[in-house]
Structure 1
């Protein structure tokens, strides 16, 4: 499926005008210009409290930036070659939906505002500008992963794809799972990125919430970028099934624990497209010689790990938010996914930015296919803000939980029907940052 190139969408004029009144220029950055590109990348590193990037790091990361729509905010009172005081970039990527289909999502990244320019409406201009750009391009959903979880709800984003963080005491946990047919073998680092990318691209279609990766992301996991302080520690293995096909890849680092001659294994990424692949790679990690602790993040909530070990109390699981979504076009978004139960309900949606505002009749048939129509002359059976709808969208957040928190308003029976329809199987997942 072909998606639009976000680089062809102009800077949002509303944000241009708002920031111009405060002496700030909001504009797209030309990555064909070496000076502009380097300045922008340095501003991103500064915004995320990173070290000053080397020439090697700038060169390695430039290709990724160049494929995206990069927007910067510039202070007119600054020097001619001053870094932008704020950044954001975006691109349209396939988002896997409940049911296995995919939809173009406006992915948003590198949102930064310099500490010298806070409280000047810049973040609002950045986020609302991205949403208006996405809507103008006909993209029905936006998404991001966040470093600060309290910012994005005000723009209609909802935490939609939760993730699990595991910590395993391997001596206590042991292993009780099956031993899959096939084999696990080491992969040289120069081949690791390609293996990761290939398996991830096949595996991502199995779970709602996943997006497509990119070469820079796989290079980063594989430790082949010059800016990776742990690159020399990176190791990788792959799982081949009984027929010899590669079905899973594990990338990890090892760190000695306080001079004990025992180590902690940190999973960078574990990707498996079959249950055997996931089990085989977990077994490799948990039973690794001289390893007392295994940690892994961004795992799906239905990950089998706690059920693969002999003592589940040797596995600590922490659930946290990860993937955030924002519905812009209710009709296009809901009709693109599949649902788990029939439903006929009028949903009243409050959206301060107006994109999803209104009353919507959602009719879902026995096949899980939705028909959506605007019915502004009709009362709502259930009411919610657009952030709550966005949290429900991928099927990983329960309507009952949002109802209990006062974020969905309606009677218990209607909320239960909503719950049964929106929930997705298997559990949604997002195993990368973007």
Structure 2
């Protein structure tokens, strides 16, 4: 498959004009330009409340962003930070795993607006410009991960990939899982980065919602990023099966307790490619000597951890949104995935931007493949594009959306039929930020 290259899409003309009328300059950043790249990196780090990046950190950011289309918004009237954008966004096209295959997704990242320039329409023009650019590139879907959950619904994004954050009382939990054959071993941080990359790539196509990772992401999780002052605290362990094949890996830190000897174990990333691998690495964490709690974020909703311990009440599970999707082309998106049950239904979709608007007949055969066509008949269900995007991967129930009033005119029976068709074998997951 040949992916679209986001860098081939010019800065959105409408956002350029609108922000120009407000006295702002919206343009693509040339990451080959040393000063421009450093300024973009500085603005992005500040936007996420991080310190100004040192030169070696700028080099890492520059390398990671070289494959992306990077856009900055500049205020020519500013006499403060010369050459530093007051807002940023970047985008790239990546394979999104969907049930039964993959779909090219326009991934939006690095959305920041300086506090000095709030309420000036910048965020709106950044996001609307990305949607128009995605459509111009022929992408059927856009996606992002969010730090603030209330911002993106207005642009048609829906929370399609819920994830869990676990907190385990390790002193109380106990262990009840079947032992795993094979062995665990401690590894160096360089080995850890390589193991995370290898196992993520090996597993991402098996679970809807995942995307490929990249070198800087794995080096960050392994504590090797230049800006990570506490990187030396990161430790790694991997599980090898009876044949010596790596089937599990965990990156973690041990945070010392105050006033007592011991630590809280914080999982940075964990991957198990087999049930044995998953049990082995979770068992390592929960059974670690002198550990009070184990915390782990961005876990799939069906992670087995609560079932592995003797006292399930020792595991707190907070479910929250993480991966947000935005369908742009209904026929292309709905036919890109497979389904678990037959369905014949007419869905009327409303979209404030018009990209997905229409009345669509979705017919799913016994083989799980779908056909989509416009249909002028009376719809069985009406929903906004954000609701359809939320449903897309099968990680959020149609029956729940119906109760919430987001599936309008749908009967309970229709919602159940949608759930039967859309549900995925395993819960969707997105175990990284992008």
Q: Which residue does 2:160 correspond to in 1? A: 160
List aligned pairs for 1:308-387, cutoff 5 A: 308-375=308-375, 377-387=376-386
* CA–CA separation in structure 2 for the residues paired with 1:104 and 1:314: 40
Deviation, 1:25, is 1.2
Matched position secondary structure for 1:185: strand
* CA–CA separation in structure 1 for the residues paired with 2:367 and 2:293: 45
* CA–CA separation in structure 2 for the residues paired with 1:55 and 1:33: 14
In the alignment, does 2:383 pair up with 1:406?
A: no
Matched position secondary structure for 2:431: coil
Q: Which residue does 1:17 correspond to in 2? A: 17
In the alignment, does 2:180 pair up with 1:184?
A: no
Deviation, 1:128, is 0.8
Could you tell me the TM-score, scaled by structure 2's length?
A: 0.98
Q: Which residue does 1:42 correspond to in 2? A: 42
Could you tell me the TM-score, scaled by structure 1's length?
A: 0.98
Matched position secondary structure for 2:104: strand
Matched position secondary structure for 2:70: strand
* CA–CA separation in structure 1 for the residues paired with 2:333 and 2:353: 17
Which string of whole-angstrom CA distances, capped at 9 and with x for unpartnered residues, describes residues 144-183 of structure 1?
Answer: 0001100000000000000001001112111000111111
* CA–CA separation in structure 1 for the residues paired with 2:187 and 2:380: 55
Q: Which residue does 1:83 correspond to in 2? A: 84
Q: Which residue does 2:388 correspond to in 1? A: 389
Matched position secondary structure for 2:399: helix
* CA–CA separation in structure 1 for the residues paired with 2:366 and 2:190: 49
* CA–CA separation in structure 1 for the residues paired with 2:230 and 2:342: 50
Q: Which residue does 1:145 correspond to in 2? A: 145
Would you say how many aligned residue pairs link Structure 1 and Structure 2?
432
List aligned pairs for 1:115-130, cutoff 5 A: 115-130=115-130
Q: Structure 2 regions of 5+ residues with no counterpart?
A: none
Q: Which residue does 2:213 correspond to in 1? A: 213
* CA–CA separation in structure 2 for the residues paired with 1:71 and 1:411: 45
Q: Which residue does 2:268 correspond to in 1? A: 268
* CA–CA separation in structure 1 for the residues paired with 2:285 and 2:261: 17
* CA–CA separation in structure 2 for the residues paired with 1:110 and 1:61: 11
Deviation, 1:84, is 0.7
* CA–CA separation in structure 2 for the residues paired with 1:2 and 1:284: 41
Using the TM superposition, name which of 207-216 and 115-124 deviates more.
Answer: 115-124
Q: Which residue does 1:4 correspond to in 2? A: 4
* CA–CA separation in structure 1 for the residues paired with 2:199 and 2:414: 40
Q: Structure 1 regions of 5+ residues with no counterpart?
A: none
Matched position secondary structure for 2:57: helix
Matched position secondary structure for 1:52: coil
Q: Which residue does 1:135 correspond to in 2? A: 135
Deviation, 1:369, is 0.7
Which string of whole-angstrom CA distances, capped at 9 and with x for unpartnered residues, describes residues 113-171 of structure 1?
Answer: 11111111111110011111111111111100001100000000000000001001112
List aligned pairs for 1:245-324, cutoff 5 A: 245-324=245-324
In the alignment, does 2:64 pair up with 1:64?
A: yes
* CA–CA separation in structure 1 for the residues paired with 2:75 and 2:284: 52
Which string of whole-angstrom CA distances, capped at 9 and with x for unpartnered residues, describes residues 173-227 of structure 1?
Answer: 1100011111111111122111110110011111100111000000000101121
